[in-house]
A = this chain, B = another copy of it.
């Protein structure tokens, strides 16, 4: 039900980080601005984030119904992002941020992978 979707790594300089992953590992750029970038690496995805703007996290993909259930359990409102994805952020016992994300069909510019 829960699938690994992406990991978001803290990055000081987004352009420099993007250049590194593109040149070294053949990443494809799905999105990039000054505060974060979203890269494809084979079948997987890697985000680079400016920690002051976006929290580093690991994202698990789930269905909209499962997201709604998880949000009820966590007592958190579901955020709708500008790219059409929906999600909530929770913390694991060690304080790592876990994003639970769903890609409503046809409502996002990123492919579901």
State the A residues within 8 Å of B (CB).
1-4, 6-7, 9-13, 16-17, 20-21, 25-27, 41-46, 48, 58, 60-61, 92-94, 96
Q: Is the CB of B42 within 8 A of A2?
A: yes
Q: Which of B21, B44, B60 contacts A92 (CB 8 A)?
A: B21
Number of copies: 2
User: Which B residues touch A92, using CB under 8 A?
Assistant: 9, 11, 17, 20-21
Report the minimal beta-carbon distance from A100 to chain B, rounded to whole angstroms: 8
29 example contacts (A-B, Cβ-Cβ < 8 A) are as follows: A1-B26, A1-B42, A2-B42, A3-B41, A3-B42, A3-B43, A4-B4, A4-B7, A4-B41, A4-B43, A4-B44, A4-B45, A9-B92, A9-B94, A9-B96, A11-B92, A11-B94, A12-B93, A12-B94, A13-B94, A17-B92, A17-B93, A17-B94, A20-B92, A21-B92, A25-B60, A41-B60, A44-B44, A46-B58
